[in-house]
Amino acid sequence: MMKDGVQGATEEEQQAQSKKGLKKQQKEAEKAAKKAEKQAKQAADQQSSEEDDFAKHRYGVSAMVQSQEKLDRTLVQIQDLTPAKADQLVWLRARVHTSRAKGKQCFLVLRQQQFNVQALVAVGDRASKQMVKFAANITKESIVDVEASVRKVELKIESCSQQDVELHIERIFVISQAEPRLPLQLEDAVRPDGEGEEEGRATVNQDTKLDNRVIDLRTTTSQAIFRLQSGVCQLFRDTLTNKGFVEIQTPKIISAASEGGANVFTVSYFKTSAYLAQSPQLYKQMCICADFDKVFCVGPVFRAEDSNTHRHLTEFVGLDIEMAFNYHYHEVIESITDTMVQIFKGLRDNFQTEIQMVNKQYPSEPFKFLEPTLRLEYTEALAMLHEAGVEMGDEEDLSTPNEKLLGRLVKEKYDTDFYVLDKYPLAVRPFYTMPDPNNPKYSNSYDMFMRGEEILSGAQRVHDAQLLTERATHHQIDLEKIKAYIDSFRYGAPPHGGGGIGLERVCMLYLGLHNVRQTSMFPRDPKRLTP
Amino acid sequence: MALRELSSLEKYLGLKKPNKYTTRGDKKIPVLQSSNGTQLVGLLTIACHLVKEAKRPELLGDSTERRALAQQWLEYRVTRLDGYSKEDVKNILQDLNLHLQDKVYLTGNQFTVADALMYYGVHPLIVDLSIQEKEQYVNVTRWFDHIQHYPGVRHHLPLVVVLRNTIYTGRHH
């Protein structure tokens, strides 16, 4: 009975299914027929349109550039498109930033890096209806070659960097086609936080930006940030070279950790293991012992700290300085602060456009500094903090909130975003730091701060092998592992000092940004290894 | 807490011999056995009684309007401030900051007992504020600093450091 019932049910089901199936088939057949019809019609349309399209050689998708030919064609830069070029016929290569068709016209915004210009394809004796349609259908971010005449405009084009001219397109060829769906929209990525919220417009969160870094890097903000960063490196090199420094390259695979063993990456090195350098510290000092006198080094630095904060990366670019001095380590401080001031001045004078571009998305106050740079001693700083109601011990290190508060207090009192904090307690510094001759609790070491955040740590180093051994033992460091380092001071070593700066932090704080990932092109942190 | 507050208030009012208080219930509501035999219950009741005993009626407000305003803030003190939760802190400080925008004291330009009791009540909130927050609630901070330095009010409470100048003017933090 039961069995029969079940069988009956399944038969019924089958019948129902086959009925459904039939209907489905029928529908699909109809669909296919319609599709075929449509395709045929389209093909016919295309054929007919191709036949009577007088402008068909003026547009299209170019064959892949495989270096078949050397065209004698000069491509102009968008930033050079000014009223001076009015009524000239020019060729240029650019990205399609946006396109908007409107009846017989199609407006395009063409972009090159941080510059853009408005372009127009209009039906007329140079362009056909089909050409306008083709232009309107070019996907965003595609790269095109365009021949166009430059025309002055009466009303300024506010949305473009070239406000006084527009381009009337005569030919347009797609060189590289972008896929129609972009993982993020460039307009959304440059929208300031909070703006457009009421219109329900999207902003792109940082992880999405970083996941699609190649596209995010095309935004005006990113373009400006990394052009400025390149400027920092160049100003750093130029200033130091002028001061008689020598640029050196140091190994990044090292045998012993330079600043405590906890935060180093271990790499397997044939049958043993090695570490990734936390700083070129030991090598730049050895160069000093080798009579290079003043050296600097720009290169990657690794920290295996598992801290996911706005200002920590596991790999960043270190700008390191080391120099021999005559009698007092303040000679070193002066040299470094002067270098920083030259960088700030260079940025202020030569990178105003880039600073403005970043400010549009991330508003901040202009960076302020004093000349000569303000130098505070640790005890003075503690007194300022104490006055503001902060309780902390004499030999305690500054916590991040206190560091920031101190930055605020200094800004209020001295009106500077850049200052040096000198004479740190010996206990909170690495073993190679020279103790203060007047008070053994303190040391000849210093930090530098921008907008209340640390960018540089430095000190006079111990250049006496015996004292160095003593200090290393005090810090319980295995003497065997740093033997080569200590030995280099046995055969005459000049007094010297130096410091290391994080490039990404300098850029972040100069621009008043809030996350160091914004100033790292492909950031590495405990949670991110790609792209 | 309430008892120490009342004894500080007594000292401020200049009452010579301190009263004896007991507490009642879980919430430790203060109780005063007065000399004529009646029992006074509750912080506000006792505070008003002490003011009368000290013959300083102006401290309850010297006009009808001011009396009402003082009473309102005294009630705010016991209803909103006593037993506040973490989520309340922001609201309380915002309320107070807005109210004090154009006033020296809670009722305007005269010190009343409401200022003293609000100061005692708000003290644990202010102690925990960062300098940035103190600057954010600048009117509260100004009033608080003034009251903590008002002759004879502070007594049992530690002084809170208050900066006289603003240091968080910009957008950067």
Query: Do the Cβ atoms of A486 and A472 come closer than 8 Å?
Result: yes
Q: Look up residue A29 and give its two tokens.
A: 């057949």
Task: Round to whole Å and give the CA distance between A100 and A96.
Answer: 11
Of all residues in chain A, what percent carry a pLDDT higher than 70?
92
pLDDT at A75: 95
Residue B169's Cα: distance from chain center in Å?
A: 29
Give the confidence band of B85 by pLDDT, cuts at 50, 70, 90.
Answer: confident
Task: Round to whole Å and give the CA distance between B29 and B2.
Answer: 8
Q: Is A512 on the interface with B (CB under 8 A)?
A: yes
Tell me the DSSP string of A423-491: --BGGGS-TTBPBPSS-TTBBSEEEEEETTEEEEEEEEBP--HHHHHHHHHHTT--GGGGHHHHHTTTT
pLDDT at A192: 85
Of all residues in chain B, what percent carry a pLDDT higher than 70?
97
- Residue A494, pLDDT above cutoff 50: yes
Task: Round to whole Å and give the CA distance between A168 and A441.
Answer: 73
- Residue B127, pLDDT above cutoff 80: yes
Query: Do the Cβ atoms of A85 and A117 come closer than 8 Å?
Result: no
- Residue A343, pLDDT above cutoff 60: yes
Task: Round to whole Å and give the CA distance between B83 and A484.
Answer: 65
- Residue A261, pLDDT above cutoff 60: no
- Residue B141, pLDDT above cutoff 90: yes
Whether B167 sits inside 8 A of A412 (CB atoms) is yes
pLDDT at B35: 74
pLDDT at A422: 96
Among the listed residues A464, A454, A435, A467, the one whose alpha carbon sits nearest the alpha carbon of residue A499: A454
Which residue on chain A is closest to B166 by alpha carbon? A412
Task: Round to whole Å and give the CA distance between B157 and B9.
Answer: 12
HSE-up of residue A215 (Cα within 13 Å, Cβ side): 23
Tell me the DSSP string of A76-132: PPGGG-SGGGTT-EEEEEEEEEEEEEETTEEEEEEEETTEEEEEEEESSSS--HHHH
Q: What ranges in A166-265 are assigned the alpha helix state H?
A: 186-189, 206-211, 213-216, 220-242
pLDDT at A11: 59
Q: Is A75 on the interface with B (CB under 8 A)?
A: no
pLDDT at A36: 78
- Residue A509, pLDDT above cutoff 50: yes
Q: What is the residue type of A334?
A: E
**Segment B82-97 mean pLDDT:** 86
Compare CB distances from B172 to A387, A389, A451 and report the shortest one's residue.
A451
pLDDT at A490: 94
Residue A172 φ/ψ, nearest 5 degrees: -145, 125
CA distance B115 to chain A (A): 24
Query: Do the Cβ atoms of A236 and A336 come closer than 8 Å?
Result: no
Helices B64-76 and B113-127, packing angle to 10 deg: 30
In angstroms, the first-to-last Cα distance of chain B is: 36
HSE-up of residue B24 (Cα within 13 Å, Cβ side): 11
Among the listed residues A237, A385, A400, A262, the one whose alpha carbon sits nearest the alpha carbon of residue A319: A237
Residue-wise pLDDT tens digits, A70-123 = 999 999 999 999 999 999 999 999 999 999 998 889 999 999 998 999 999 999
- Residue A356, pLDDT above cutoff 80: yes
> Which single residue is written with the structure tokens 């390259």?
A249
pLDDT at A9: 52
Whether B161 sits inside 8 A of A388 (CB atoms) is yes
Among the listed residues A391, A347, A395, A382, the one whose alpha carbon sits nearest the alpha carbon of residue A368: A347
Lowest-pLDDT choice from A225-234, B8-17, B83-92: B83-92
- Residue B172, pLDDT above cutoff 50: no
Q: Tell me the chain A residues in contact with residue B168 when contact means C-beta distances shorter than 8 Å.
A: 408
CA distance A412 to chain B (A): 6
Whether A404 sits inside 8 A of B173 (CB atoms) is yes
- Residue A402, pLDDT above cutoff 60: yes
Catalytic residues of A: 303, 305, 311-312, 454, 457, 505
Q: Look up residue B58 and give its two tokens.
A: 């102006």
3-state helix/strand/coil string of chain B: CHHHHHHHHHHHHCCCCCCCEEEECCCCEEEEECCCCCEEECHHHHHHHHHHHCCCHHHHCCCHHHHHHHHHHHHHHHHHHCCCCHHHHHHHHHHHHHHHHHCCECCECCCCHHHHHHHHHHHHHHHCCCHHHHHHCHHHHHHHHHHHCCCCCCCCCCCCCCCCCCCCCCCCC
Task: Round to whole Å and give the CA distance between A417 and A40.
Answer: 70
Among the listed residues B45, B44, B49, B46, the one whose alpha carbon sits nearest the alpha carbon of residue B78: B44
Which residue on chain A is closest to B163 by alpha carbon? A388
Give the confidence band of B39 by pLDDT, cuts at 50, 70, 90.
Answer: confident
Query: Do the Cβ atoms of A498 and A468 come closer than 8 Å?
Result: no
Among the listed residues A419, A384, A415, the one whose alpha carbon sits nearest the alpha carbon of residue A402: A384
- Residue B107, pLDDT above cutoff 80: yes
Whether B167 sits inside 8 A of A404 (CB atoms) is no
Give the confidence band of A433 by pLDDT, cuts at 50, 70, 90.
Answer: very high
Which residues are CB-contacts of B171 (< 8 A; sequence separation ≥ 6)? A363, A364, A365, A512
Helix (H, G, I), strand (E, B) or coil at A262: coil
Query: Do the Cβ atoms of B2 and B40 come closer than 8 Å?
Result: no
CA distance B22 to chain A (A): 36
Query: Do the Cβ atoms of A423 and A378 come closer than 8 Å?
Result: yes
Among the listed residues A285, A284, A316, A321, the one whose alpha carbon sits nearest the alpha carbon of residue A303: A316
pLDDT at A15: 63
Q: Is B158 on the interface with A (CB under 8 A)?
A: no
Q: Tell me the chain B residues in contact with residue A512 when contact means C-beta distances shorter than 8 Å.
A: 171-172
Helices B113-127 and B2-13, packing angle to 10 deg: 140
Q: Which residues of A140-175 are buried (b: 16+ CB within 10 A; e: fewer)?
A: bbbbbbbbbbbeeeeeebeebbbebbbbbbbbbbbe
Q: Is A384 on the interface with B (CB under 8 A)?
A: no
Return mean pLDDT, chain B. 88
Give the confidence band of B173 by pLDDT, cuts at 50, 70, 90.
Answer: very low
Q: Is B160 on the interface with A (CB under 8 A)?
A: yes
pLDDT at A13: 60
Task: Round to whole Å and give the CA distance between A55 and A160.
Answer: 29
Query: Do the Cβ atoms of A509 and A474 come closer than 8 Å?
Result: no
Q: Is B41 on the interface with A (CB under 8 A)?
A: no
Compare CB distances from B172 to A365, A388, A412 and report the shortest one's residue.
A365
- Residue B47, pLDDT above cutoff 50: yes
Q: What is the residue type of B123?
A: H
Q: Is B164 on the interface with A (CB under 8 A)?
A: no
> Which single residue is written with the structure tokens 């596209």?
A215
- Residue A342, pLDDT above cutoff 50: yes
Residue A320's Cα: distance from chain center in Å?
A: 20
**Segment A275-296 mean pLDDT:** 93
Whether B168 sits inside 8 A of A408 (CB atoms) is yes
Among the listed residues A322, A314, A312, the one whose alpha carbon sits nearest the alpha carbon of residue A250: A322
Give the residue from A311, A408, A415 with the most B CB atoms within 10 Å of its CB, the best one to mutate.
A408
Lowest-pLDDT choice from A95-104, A221-230, B75-84: B75-84
pLDDT at A335: 96
Residue-wise pLDDT tens digits, A175-206 = 999 999 999 988 888 888 767 666 677 788 88
- Residue B171, pLDDT above cutoff 50: no
Q: Tell me the chain B residues in contact with residue A364 when contact means C-beta distances shorter than 8 Å.
A: 170-172
pLDDT at A139: 94
Among the listed residues A239, A243, A81, A109, the one whose alpha carbon sits nearest the alpha carbon of residue A165: A81
pLDDT at B60: 92
- Residue A221, pLDDT above cutoff 50: yes
Task: Enter the DSSP assignment of A528.
Answer: B
Taken in order of first residue, the domains within chain A and their CATH numbers are: 78-176 (2.40.50.140), 220-519 (3.30.930.10)
Lowest-pLDDT choice from A38-42, B9-13, B94-98, B119-123: A38-42
Q: Is A360 on the interface with B (CB under 8 A)?
A: no
**Segment A226-250 mean pLDDT:** 96
Lowest-pLDDT choice from A40-54, A491-505, B42-56: A40-54
Higher pLDDT, A33 or A386: A386
Complex ipTM: 0.75
Return mean pLDDT, chain A. 90
Pairing of strands B21-24, B29-33: antiparallel
pTM: 0.82
Neighbours of A400 (CB within 10 A): 12
pLDDT at A7: 54
Task: Round to whole Å and give the CA distance between A156 and A367.
Answer: 31
Task: Round to whole Å and give the CA distance between A234 and A236.
Answer: 5
Higher pLDDT, A20 or A485: A485
Q: Look up residue A82 and give its two tokens.
A: 């000014």
User: CB contacts < 8 Å between A and B, how many?
Assistant: 28
pLDDT at A259: 57
Q: Look up residue A476 and give its two tokens.
A: 């319980």
Lowest-pLDDT choice from A424-433, A441-450, A471-480, B110-119: A471-480
Residue-wise pLDDT tens digits, A132-178 = 999 999 999 999 999 999 999 999 999 899 999 999 999 999 999 99
Query: Do the Cβ atoms of A470 and A305 come closer than 8 Å?
Result: no
**Segment A509-519 mean pLDDT:** 95
Residue A520 φ/ψ, nearest 5 degrees: -115, 125
